[in-house]
């Protein structure tokens, strides 16, 4: 378990260049000169009347939502770099629309035509940009962990 925690920590540290590269590929929207937009949403409930909620969307939510996402199952030795949404997102950002922006279309059969291709395919562009640095950092982290383990085993 101790070794697994060391590897998990190393994976998270080595993901930093990848996170920065993906964030650098995203251009924030400055649509119509507004950086924030408030939308009132209605949520239907089965127990009573529909509830309304004011949601404020700020320019840059997608960029702020990019980060390291831990695997669901405890003890797995991998990590994901992408938009955090739902329970993984903080209070100031939510990247639930990351796939829509990345692929430039809506889900389902009725796909919208893409007029603004500014951020289309941002994830793979960022991946290619940060891949070499991330691999290099990961190799260095693994080497440190293995050297430490070999020293510990040689003392026995």
135 alpha carbon, distance to own chain's centre:
18
Closest listed residue to residue 125, CA positions, set 1, 25, 12: 25
Q: How far apart are CA 156 and CA 151, in angstroms?
A: 9
Q: What is the pLDDT of residue 84?
A: 86
Q: What is the pLDDT of residue 70?
A: 86
Q: How far apart are CA 19 and CA 41, in angstroms?
A: 31
Q: Residues in the chain with pLDDT < 50?
A: none
Q: What is the pLDDT of residue 121?
A: 83
Strand residue runs (E) in the chain? 36-43, 51-58, 66-69, 80-83
Q: What is the pLDDT of residue 131?
A: 93
Question: Who's near 52: CB < 8 A, 6+ residues apart?
Answer: 40, 41, 42, 43
Using a 10 angstrom Cβ sphere, with 0-12 exposed, 13-18 middle and 19 or more buried, the burial of residue 14 is buried
Q: What is the pLDDT of residue 87?
A: 73
Q: What is the pLDDT of residue 60?
A: 78
Q: What is the pLDDT of residue 107?
A: 53
Q: What is the pLDDT of residue 92?
A: 67
Query: Token digits for 131?
Result: 């891949």
End-to-end CA distance of the chain: 19
Q: What is the pLDDT of residue 64?
A: 86
């Amino acid at each position: 378990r101790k070794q697994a925690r060391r590897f998990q920590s190393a994976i998270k540290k080595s993901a930093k260049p990848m996170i920065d590269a993906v964030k650098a590929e995203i251009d924030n929207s400055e649509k119509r000169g507004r950086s924030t937009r408030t939308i009132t949403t209605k949520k239907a409930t089965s127990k009573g009347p529909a509830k309304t909620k004011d949601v404020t969307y700020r320019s840059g939510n997608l960029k702020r939502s990019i980060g390291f996402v831990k695997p669901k199952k405890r003890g797995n030795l991998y990590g994901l770099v992408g938009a955090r949404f739902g329970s993984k997102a903080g209070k100031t950002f939510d990247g639930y629309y990351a796939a829509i922006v990345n692929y430039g279309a809506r889900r389902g059969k009725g796909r919208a035509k893409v007029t603004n291709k500014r951020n289309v395919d941002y994830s793979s562009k960022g991946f290619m940009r940060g891949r070499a640095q991330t691999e290099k950092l990961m190799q260095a982290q693994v080497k440190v962990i293995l050297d430490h383990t070999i020293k510990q085993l040689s003392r026995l």
